[in-house]
């Protein structure tokens, strides 16, 4: 153990740079002038083979290694830095194929020569992405999935664009991360690197999380930022792309989920309950209006308490998901996850279009969430005004070309939209945001439409239905501010053999049961409490009010009889019979009953 630690220490010190020796050998890395990017094939006795060493600036070496390495001769501006440390942080052992070279082989040749500064950027010049990285990968430039590069570039610009929005800590973090991201991508352009779009994408993607969490030697970390700073980073970057889903940005959320954040979940939950208590039992009208009224109160208190970020979970029919993943070719799970999230993104884009979110100043982001076998859509919303108002002149122009195309792309557009609204949306698309949006109102509208089942979402020509909507109180959405179920999906026919789960139904499941009070077996159908209330105008409901679903007996449904004879149209018999004890039926099965007024 002790010996290992010693070795590590030794390595850290000398890895600091073997290098300066090779100056004599190659003579192509001048201590003052470099040029950066020249390479030399070299064998150290700490490695098993020859590897490339690249001429870098001392600043670059210090930045990329977070201060653990530097030119051995600290007065040098340039020195050779070995590939195995630069890319893999390994100061001895096996030389990987990416770094391997042959001392007798020809020097690497490049099709597109890059200026020397590209090979040793300081991490602050955002034009590096366009002037260096994109030039080295010309074929990947039009790759639509090139999210990570676009993200990194956007991130780099964040430092300047959002200057006023960040706290000093947030600003320091952004600066450190942009440097980290850039220097970690530099090996991609090394002359000996075999350049493929796949490598570009995966390297760019992999770099992100480590850079957010530990961008440099200091204690800066994404997790230590305030919620405000986290939101600013997220939404400012999101504002540069119109599509709901962006894998790299999802990566930022994943990192956030890993932070132990101090949330006000219980506090807000209590506040919501307090407000709800004030309105329940007052002026009951009909069940649907009561549900909407309660939902509105919940949303208002939730949004007012600025839970960060504002997240919702949406459910669609299971078979809507089936079709989405079937259409794509099966490959590695990671790609399938992205495909599902892209589908979720399309749904939310269609939803946003139907609800006119862009015009109303709402920013949104969405991805697919898989919890066991249950798929859902996670949706984040924010006020665009808050994050976009500062760049009302410059950014709109720069982003115009890419966003315009997306807006015109009718494939994801809501088909039911009539011509006049379409034109209106186009006309107003570039007008700057004038005022903040009211997220409570936006979400109340959405909740009402989900409940009423009036959304008409078409994705690739298929109808997609939202069945449920929850507001999230915590990052993982384990606690809900509100729950809404579409009334449309409370009348489906389910599988008669299944039981009736309190939360999951399924709706329409039937069982043949003899209930206390009746003289024979009758059909019980699994229904939601709200459906029963709605259908009977509040006269019937689940015995256990906390249940979403309960069994609704045929005699009550058809004849409003809560005891006595079972009529022939409700009667069931034979192998379908299920026998429950009295206690089970009353306490768990929770049949509905007549409300005694
Ligand atoms: C970035 O580097 C390029 C090339 O060296 C230079 O022309 C440009 O001015 C630099 N930009 C900034 C903001 O430093
Ligand atoms: C961005 O910020 C840096 C450091 O504050 C500054 O040197 C640079 O000029 C700024 N660039 C732009 C385009 O504002
Ligand atoms: C609710 O009841 C209060 C008095 O209890 C009454 O003043 C108010 O107008 C009622 N509101 C509605 C919407 O019926
Ligand atoms: C799935 O897609 C096929 C063909 O695209 C279509 O016929 C079918 O109705 C779809 N099913 C659902 C549930 O949307
Ligand atoms: C938007 O730009 C205009 C000038 O083009 C400026 O007067 C206005 O203050 C800007 N708005 C914001 C919120 O920065
Ligand atoms: C936007 O597109 C126009 C022509 O369609 C082109 O002239 C212009 O250079 C593009 N701008 C950017 C920033 O790509
Ligand atoms: C958009 O719709 C027009 C006709 O309405 C059609 O010609 C065009 O191909 C469509 N574009 C896409 C990307 O589907
Ligand atoms: C919408 O536009 C199409 C073709 O542009 C036209 O055939 C149709 O009548 C229009 N519908 C309405 C409601 O204006
Ligand atoms: C969009 O523009 C139309 C006229 O071009 C205007 O009547 C409408 O109010 C605008 N909508 C918004 C949200 O600015
Ligand atoms: C947002 O809308 C709700 C409901 O209409 C309203 O009660 C609330 O005061 C509004 N909030 C703001 C900030 O305007
Ligand atoms: C639900 O939709 C129907 C018809 O689309 C409409 O008449 C009704 O007012 C809506 N209910 C609510 C609460 O929006």
DSSP 347-376: HHHHHHHHTTTTTTTEEEEEEEEEETTEEE
Residue in 441, 445, 446 to alter for ligand 10 test, most ligand atoms within 8 A of Cβ: 441
538 belongs to a structural domain: yes
**How many other CB atoms are found less than 10 A from the CB of residue 573?**
10
Q: Summarize pLDDT for 152-167 with one digit per residue, the tens.
A: 888 888 887 766 788 8
214 belongs to a structural domain: yes
pLDDT of residue 380: 95
Distance in Å, CA 384 to ligand 11 centroid: 29
Q: Which of 6-15, 339-348, 443-452, 522-531 has the lowest mean pLDDT?
A: 6-15
Question: Which of 217, 232, 258 lies at the terminal end of a domain, its last residue?
Answer: 258
Distance in Å, CA 150 to ligand 2 centroid: 19
d(CA 264, CA 222): 19
Per-residue H/E/C for 62-119: HHHCCCCCCCCCCCCCEEEEEHHHHHHCCCCECCCCCCECCCCCCCCCCCCCCCHHHH
281 lines ligand 3 (CB under 6 A): no
Distance in Å, CA 590 to ligand 5 centroid: 60
From edge to edge, which strands make up the β-sheet containing 480-485? 362-371, 374-383, 310-316, 466-472, 480-485
Question: Which of 466, 491, 516 lies at the terminal end of a domain, its last residue?
Answer: 491
Distance in Å, CA 421 to ligand 5 centroid: 28
203 lines ligand 11 (CB under 6 A): no
pLDDT of residue 285: 61
How many Cα atoms sit within 13 Å of 414 on the Cβ side? 23
Could you give phi then psi for residue 492, rounded to 5 degrees? -65, 155
Could you give phi then psi for residue 409, rounded to 5 degrees? -65, 105
Distance in Å, CA 437 to ligand 10 centroid: 10
397 belongs to a structural domain: no
- Residue 417 predicted with pLDDT over 70: no
What domain range includes position 517? Answer: 497-596
Distance in Å, CA 462 to ligand 4 centroid: 7
pLDDT of residue 82: 92
Q: Which of 215-229, 240-254, 331-345, 469-483 has the lowest mean pLDDT?
A: 331-345
Same domain, 446 and 582: no
pLDDT of residue 364: 94
514 belongs to a structural domain: yes
Q: How many domains does the chain have?
A: 3
CA 445 to chain centre: 23
Same domain, 373 and 245: no
d(CA 530, CA 310): 26
- Residue 259 predicted with pLDDT over 60: yes
- H/E element holding 175? helix 168-185
Distance in Å, CA 163 to ligand 2 centroid: 10
| 567 and 523 Cβ atoms separated by less than 8 Å | no
Q: Summarize pLDDT for 478-503 with one digit per residue, the tens.
A: 888 998 888 777 543 333 344 677 78
| 550 and 304 Cβ atoms separated by less than 8 Å | no
Same domain, 186 and 279: no
Residue in 385, 423, 424 to alter for ligand 9 test, most ligand atoms within 8 A of Cβ: 424
| Angle at the Cα of 335 from the Cα atoms of 334 and 339, rounded to 5 degrees | 120
321 belongs to a structural domain: yes
- Residue 438 predicted with pLDDT over 60: yes
State which ligand 7 atom lies nearest to the alpha carbon of 409.
13
Same domain, 126 and 241: yes
Question: Which of 258, 288, 323 lies at the terminal end of a domain, its last residue?
Answer: 258
452 lines ligand 11 (CB under 6 A): yes
504 belongs to a structural domain: yes
- Taking the model in full, what pTM does it have? 0.67
Could you give phi then psi for residue 161, rounded to 5 degrees? -65, -35
Same domain, 509 and 465: no
Q: Which of 76-80, 99-103, 271-275, 425-429 has the lowest mean pLDDT?
A: 425-429
pLDDT of residue 535: 83
Same domain, 563 and 526: yes
- Residue 579 predicted with pLDDT over 60: no
State the pairing for strand pair 466-472/310-316: antiparallel
125 lines ligand 1 (CB under 6 A): yes
Distance in Å, CA 410 to ligand 7 centroid: 6
For residue 309, say if its preceding peptide bond is cis, omega within 30 degrees of 0.
yes
Distance in Å, CA 390 to ligand 1 centroid: 23
| 51 and 190 Cβ atoms separated by less than 8 Å | no
Rounded to whole angstroms, what are the CA distances from 471 to 300, 311, 379? 11, 6, 9
State which ligand 8 atom lies nearest to the alpha carbon of 418.
13
Q: How confident is the model over 404-413, as a mean pLDDT?
A: 38
State which ligand 4 atom lies nearest to the alpha carbon of 461.
5
Q: How confident is the model over 402-426, as a mean pLDDT?
A: 38
Distance in Å, CA 490 to ligand 4 centroid: 22
Same domain, 442 and 368: yes
State which ligand 6 atom lies nearest to the alpha carbon of 398.
13
- Residue 423 predicted with pLDDT over 70: no
428 belongs to a structural domain: no
| 311 and 378 Cβ atoms separated by less than 8 Å | yes
Instruction: Spell out which residues line ligand 9, taking CB within 6 angstroms.
Output: 359, 424, 427-428
Beta partners for residue 91, in sequence order: none
* pLDDT band, residue 583 (cuts 50/70/90): very low
Distance in Å, CA 277 to ligand 11 centroid: 26
3-state SS, residue 525: strand
Same domain, 354 and 453: yes
State which ligand 1 atom lies nearest to the alpha carbon of 124.
14
Which residue has a Cα nearest atom 6 of ligand 6? 401
More confident residue, 396 or 462: 462
Q: With pLDDT > 90 as the criterion, what percentage of the chain qualifies? A: 20
Instruction: Spell out which residues line ligand 7, taking CB within 6 angstroms.
Output: 409-411
State which ligand 7 atom lies nearest to the alpha carbon of 411.
14
From edge to edge, which strands make up the β-sheet containing 78-82? 39-43, 50-57, 78-82
* pLDDT band, residue 6 (cuts 50/70/90): very low
Residue in 316, 462, 465, 467 to alter for ligand 4 test, most ligand atoms within 8 A of Cβ: 462
Helices and strands counted in the chain (H then E): 22, 16
Same domain, 230 and 270: no
Could you give phi then psi for residue 252, rounded to 5 degrees? -65, -40
Looking at the CA of 325, which ligand is closest?
Answer: 4
355 belongs to a structural domain: yes
Same domain, 369 and 229: no
127 lines ligand 1 (CB under 6 A): yes
Q: Summarize pLDDT for 534-565 with one digit per residue, the tens.
A: 888 888 888 777 788 888 888 888 888 878 88
Sequence-separated (6 or more) residues with CB below 8 Å from residue 246: 147, 151, 238, 365
Looking at the CA of 444, which ligand is closest?
Answer: 10
Q: With pLDDT > 70 as the criterion, what percentage of the chain qualifies? A: 77
Same domain, 141 and 243: yes
Which residue has a Cα nearest atom 14 of ligand 5? 390
Same domain, 585 and 567: yes
Residue length of the chain: 597
Distance in Å, CA 419 to ligand 7 centroid: 14
């Amino acid at each position: 153990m002790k010996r290992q630690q010693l070795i590590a220490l030794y390595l850290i010190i000398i890895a600091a740079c073997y290098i300066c020796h090779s100056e004599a050998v190659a003579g192509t890395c001048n201590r003052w002038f470099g040029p950066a990017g020249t390479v030399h094939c070299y064998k150290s006795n700490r490695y098993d083979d020859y590897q490339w060493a690249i001429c870098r600036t001392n600043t670059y070496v210090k930045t990329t290694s977070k201060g653990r390495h530097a030119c051995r001769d600290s007065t040098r501006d340039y020195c050779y830095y070995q590939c195995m440390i630069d890319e893999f942080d390994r100061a001895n052992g096996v030389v990987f194929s990416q770094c391997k070279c042959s001392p007798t082989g020809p020097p690497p040749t490049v099709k597109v020569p890059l200026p020397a500064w590209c090979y040793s950027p300081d991490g602050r010049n955002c034009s590096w992405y366009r002037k260096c990285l994109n030039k080295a990968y010309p074929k990947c430039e039009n790759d639509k999935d090139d999210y990570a590069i676009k993200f990194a570039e956007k991130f780099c610009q964040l430092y300047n664009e959002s200057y006023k929005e960040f706290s000093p800590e947030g600003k320091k973090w952004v600066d450190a991360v942009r440097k980290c991201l850039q220097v970690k991508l530099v090996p991609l352009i090394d002359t000996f690197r075999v350049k493929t779009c796949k490598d570009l994408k995966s390297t760019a993607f992999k770099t992100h999380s480590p850079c957010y969490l530990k961008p440099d030697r200091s204690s800066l970390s994404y997790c230590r930022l305030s919620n405000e700073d986290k939101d600013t980073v997220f939404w400012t970057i999101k504002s540069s792309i119109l599509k709901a889903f962006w894998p790299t940005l999802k990566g930022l959320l994943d990192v956030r989920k890993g932070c132990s954040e101090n949330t006000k979940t219980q506090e807000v939950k209590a506040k919501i309950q307090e407000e709800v208590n004030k309105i329940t039992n007052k002026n009951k009208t009909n069940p649907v209006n009561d549900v909407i009224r309660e939902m509105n109160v919940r949303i208002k208190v939730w949004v007012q308490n600025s839970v960060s970020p504002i997240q919702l979970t949406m459910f669609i029919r299971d078979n809507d998901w089936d079709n989405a993943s079937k259409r794509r070719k099966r490959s590695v799970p990671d790609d399938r996850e992205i495909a599902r999230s892209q589908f979720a993104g399309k749904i939310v884009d269609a939803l946003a279009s139907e609800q006119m979110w862009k015009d109303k100043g709402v920013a949104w982001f969405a991805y697919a969430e898989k919890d066991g076998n249950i798929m859902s859509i996670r949706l984040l919303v924010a006020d665009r005004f808050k994050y976009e108002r500062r760049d009302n002149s410059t950014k709109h122009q720069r982003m115009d070309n890419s966003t315009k195309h997306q807006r015109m792309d009718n494939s994801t557009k809501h088909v039911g939209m009539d011509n006049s609204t379409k034109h209106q949306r186009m006309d107003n698309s570039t007008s700057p945001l004038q005022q903040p949006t009211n997220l409570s109102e936006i979400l109340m509208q959405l909740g009402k439409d989900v409940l009423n089942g009036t959304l008409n979402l078409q994705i690739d020509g298929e109808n997609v239905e939202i069945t449920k909507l929850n507001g999230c109180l915590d990052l993982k959405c384990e606690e809900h501010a509100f729950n809404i179920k579409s009334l449309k999906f409370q009348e489906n026919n389910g599988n008669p053999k299944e039981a009736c789960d309190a939360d999951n139904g399924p709706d329409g499941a039937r069982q043949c049961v003899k209930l206390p009070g009746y003289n024979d077996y009758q059909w019980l159908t699994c229904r939601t409490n709200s459906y029963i209330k709605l259908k009977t105008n509040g006269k019937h409901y689940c015995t256990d009010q906390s249940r979403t679903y309960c069994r609704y007996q045929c005699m009550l449904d058809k004849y409003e009889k809560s005891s006595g004879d079972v009529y022939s149209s409700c009667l069931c018999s034979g192998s379908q019979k299920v026998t429950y004890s009295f206690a089970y039926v009353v306490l768990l099965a929770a049949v509905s009953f007549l409300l005694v007024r």
